Amino acid sequence: MNILVVDDSRAIYAMVSQMLQEGGHTSVWAEDGLKAVDILTKNNTIEIILLDWNMPNMNGLEFLEKNAKENFTKAPIIMMTTENSPEFIKKALSLNAAEYIMKPFTKDILFNKFTLVELML
């Protein structure tokens, strides 16, 4: 699968992209929601989006809100964040996030979420 990782941390992207590569997937990196929107409007091969909450320029919530209004991607969105309050989780899910992963996470947790998302499709 071709996966867009949206996170302002290069270290997180390096860790996640390594996990994805070990699982036979490819990844594309966007440092924030604005870059993600740009990538998604130019690239229709993205199959899953891993989205951080706290980023500059456009955070994860703003990205979800923009997609809810403009529908620029139909790729399932998995939140990948340290935000763990029930309010954050409910808000993300209400804006069509398919799943929610708490940082830090293992490769097994990540791929289990992929399986859940694929079952939803």
Burial class (CB in 10 A: 0-12, 13-18, 19+), 19: middle
How far is it, in rounded angstroms, from Cα 53 to Cα 88? 9
> Quick check: 8 and 55 in contact, CB under 8 A?
yes
Pairing of strands 26-30, 99-102: unpaired
Q: What is the pLDDT of residues 87-114, one digit of tens each?
A: 999 999 999 999 999 999 999 999 999 8
Prediction pTM value: 0.95
The per-residue pLDDT for range 36-88, each reduced to its tens digit, is 999 999 978 999 999 999 999 999 999 999 999 999 999 999 999 998 899 99
**Amino acid, res. 117:** V
- The domains of the chain, with CATH numbers, are 2-113 (3.40.50.2300)
